[in-house]
Amino acid sequence: MTVPSLTLAEASALAADVLDQVERAVIGKRDALRLVLAGVLAGGHVLIEDLPGLGKTVAAHSLATALGLTYTRAQFTPDLLPSDLTGGYIYDQRASEFVFRPGPVFTGLLLADEINRTPPKTQSALLEAMQEHRVSVEGHTFDLPRPFHVLATANPIEHEGTYPLPEAQLDRFLLRLSFGYPSASDEVDVLVRRIARRTEEATIDAVLDPARLLAVQSAVEDIHVAPSVLRYVVALVTATRLDKTVLVGASPRGSLALVACSRAVALLDGRSFVAPEDIKAVAHGALDHRITLRPELWLSDATAGAVVDAALDETPVPDASDVQPR
């Protein structure tokens, strides 16, 4: 695959076009969609934890279409086996040998729907794919296509028949986000557009293809991050570890997630450098799920979000003159 070279302006314009296409199907959630796209442009995976009917599946399918990626949906259920995701060997009678049949992870964008409804053994089957971009089956290793991204969904309030994601797997998600209910005006707009197009599905055009998505991701790597911003990131993450309500604070992977996602947000804004506002924009999505509160506080008002809010309030912000490239 030949990856073209893009300027910052070209990459930013393409990313904006992708957002515009996805907004045809998911209305009134541009800020959340920007963060989902930022997670993809940063090369990571995104967990969308939200109530049913708020557009998670539609967002995933629309994003895959706009990015020009192959799309596969895996419905996670209690009887789902690891081989149902990774694939396995089947006997080919004509060739008189076992051949590998790829599973749904061999795709560009995988929607892991209701990931908390399957047992930990199957959840862990995604770990290698998400981190290493490959799977191991019966002693053989198979590389996944590039690019490869996972968008997972989870229901945050229905606990019967679910299996909480272990911290090790949560940490593999670059961002954890929530769409929330639309405003009244946005919900009216949803109804108006549905009536106007006379069909359930909105038409989404492909803006990118795998090669050009890789080119946009490469442009993200050119975004400048000043030393003062890096110190700000480390100070924020350290503050989560020192909070008295926290059992386990954000790991260094949290620092890496902050930097990676803030660079993607800067590209979406057409800037060649990361500003403190970019860090603040992704702080909750990148850090909340990496914080474990003390067990005795689970029934109190303490939340991981409040810990991140306190860190943002108490950590000095770098001066604007120190964040731009010299």
| Sequence letter at residue 254 | G
Query: Tell me, what amino acid is at 291?
Result: I
Residue 298 CB coordination number (10 Å): 8
Contact 149, 129 (CB under 8 A): no
The DSSP element (H or E) to which 49 belongs, if any, is strand 46-49
| Cα 157–Cα 158–Cα 162 angle in degrees, nearest 5 | 125
Alpha-carbon torsion angle 313, 314, 318, 319, nearest 10: 80
CA angle 86, 170, 85 (to 5 degrees): 10
Domain boundary residue, one of 215, 250, 281: 215
38-87, pLDDT tens digit by residue? 999 999 999 999 888 888 999 999 999 999 999 999 999 889 999 999 99
- What is the mean predicted confidence (pLDDT) over 121-140? 86
- Quickly list DSSP for 171-191: TT-SEEE---PPPHHHHHHHH
Tell the burial category of 96 from Cβ atoms under 10 Å away from its Cβ (0-12, 13-18, 19+): exposed
Q: For residue 291, tell me if it sits in a domain.
A: yes
Is 157 among the domain residues? yes
Q: What is the pTM of this model?
A: 0.93
Choosing from 215, 248, 271, the residue where a domain stops is 215
Q: Among 152, 185, 215, which residue terminates a domain?
A: 215
178 and 309 both lie in a single domain: no
**What is the CATH number for 209?**
3.40.50.300
Q: Which pLDDT band, with edges at 50, 70 and 90, does 161 fall under?
A: low
Supply the range of the domain harboring residue 294: 223-322
Residue 147: is the preceding peptide bond cis (ω within 30°)?
yes
> What's the chain's average pLDDT?
91
Give the pLDDT of residue 300: 76
For Cα atoms 148, 9, 204, give the angle at the middle one, nearest 5 degrees.
50
97 - beta bridge partners? 92
The count of structural domains within the chain is: 2
At 306, which CATH number?
1.10.8.80
Q: In Å, how far are 54, 283, 284 from 305, measured between CA atoms?
A: 21, 9, 6
pLDDT tens for each residue of 208-259: 999 999 999 999 999 999 999 999 999 999 999 999 999 989 999 999 999 9
**How many residues in total does the chain contain?**
326
Q: What is the CA radius of gyration of the chain?
A: 20
pLDDT for 120 beyond 90: no
